[in-house]
Amino acid sequence: MDFYMFLPSNASPKVYPDNTTCHFKTELAQRMELHGHWQAALIELHYPNTIAHIVQGDNDITLVSDSYIDTVSARPGSFSSTKDFLIGIGDALKSFGNNNNVVDTQPFTLLPDQRIKFMPFDVDEKTKVHFSPRLALQLGLAHTGPYPANEEILGVKPVDISLGIPSQMFIYMDVLEEQIISHTRAPLLRTVPVDTKAQYGSMTVVHFDHPIYFDLRTKSFDTLEIYIKDHAGRNVPFDFGTSTFTMTRQDHITEFYLRQAGGGQYYAGSSYQKGHGIGSWLGGLFRTVLPLLKSGATAVGREAARAGAHVLADVASGDNFADSAKRHAGEAVQNLKRKAASAMNGSGRSIKRKRLAPIRHTVAKARSRRSSTPDYLT
């Protein structure tokens, strides 16, 4: 039976009032008590396209001279246009003027090819300007600095504010076993690509047609905690909005054994194959009895597989092997008895044989054949 859980980031507000879009805990409606070898996978994700272009911690601008070192931060947040983005960074540079005599003018000029001309102003000719790596990348600069004051600098690439948005999200869930992620291990649920060109404020829905299942490290829990990080391990900076996760789970061992009984991704050839010998003169009997034998063998195989899966699940949960095997073997026998009784009472599908029409010969042709003389006797 399919099982799904829907986990919105704004759930459980009274229990967890500090939940955010990128990091939240949710209290489940009931405690999960699982038996066997369970796995979980993400099959659908909704997330808001409200990721900030400039984030705190990667927005610093530093001026260095012989007489001072000072750092300001560009305003974190999202911008509707490249022009607004450049004005925001220029305002940060102008704020140096309160103490260090920076000229009150915008230092950036946007060229027709979307590159910038950049001239940081200062009365001290020895002043140098440094940008944080993310800002330098967005501005299309060749490097982070130092850039000399009062000299014109030309960007090497077009300004692209979307470069401040992470290209992918790493999603973690606390109840999963840790996975190998390069040089470390963490309970990774899925990596998700980010549509960096999506309209700000819209929602993106990602469907996973091929879910990746991971083992659960605990089989008893009533809360789940989810993190959404970027490639550097920082929280993805959503301005607002709700993310929603759709989860599914499966009992790995039971699914494995059920696939062995008559199907699945493994080879299962015919249990009976017609050949020469005794089958040639008892063919009619075999054609009558064979469907009954095959249906009975299939039923026995499925019950045996199901019982074996239940025994393994019980043993994994700490039950005694002998007691579990005895109990589930009895259940399998009772199930087979019920199926056999149903078959004898006429329930289910029956197989009808078609009768072949007899071959008829005309009297005239029959007499002709009896009276004709072979050519080799004449």
- Scored b (16 or more CB within 10 A) or e, 187-212 reads bbbbebebebebeeeeeeebeeeebe
Q: Give strand pairing partners of 221.
A: 32
- 95 occurs within a structural domain: yes
The total of other beta-carbon atoms located within 10 Å of residue 91's CB is: 13
- 370 occurs within a structural domain: no
pLDDT by residue for the chain (378 residues), tens only, comes to 467 889 999 988 899 999 999 999 999 888 988 887 888 899 999 999 999 888 888 888 888 888 878 888 888 888 888 888 888 888 887 766 544 444 556 678 888 999 988 777 666 778 888 899 999 999 999 888 888 877 888 889 999 998 888 889 999 999 999 999 888 999 999 999 998 888 888 999 999 989 899 998 888 899 999 999 998 888 998 988 999 988 887 665 555 444 554 544 544 555 555 555 544 444 554 455 455 555 666 666 676 667 676 766 676 677 776 777 777 677 766 776 676 666 655 544 544 555 655 555 554 444 444 444 445 444
In the listed set 162, 178, 206, which residue is the last one of a domain according to the structure? 162
- 322 occurs within a structural domain: yes
SS3 content of the chain, % helix, strand, coil (to 5): 30, 25, 45
Res 226: pLDDT: 94
Q: Structural domain of residue 85, as residue ranges?
A: 60-162
Same domain, 72 and 216: no
- 69 occurs within a structural domain: yes
Same domain, 79 and 155: yes
Kindly list the distances between the CA atom of residue 274 and the CA atoms of 282, 287, 290, 355, in Å, as whole numbers in the listed order. 11, 10, 11, 21
Calpha distance 123→115 (Å, rounded): 26
Number of domains in the chain: 3
Same domain, 207 and 152: no
Same domain, 24 and 102: no
- Closest by Cα among 243, 219, 61, 240 to 135: 61
- 378 occurs within a structural domain: no
- 257 occurs within a structural domain: no
- 258 occurs within a structural domain: no
* Predicted model pTM: 0.60
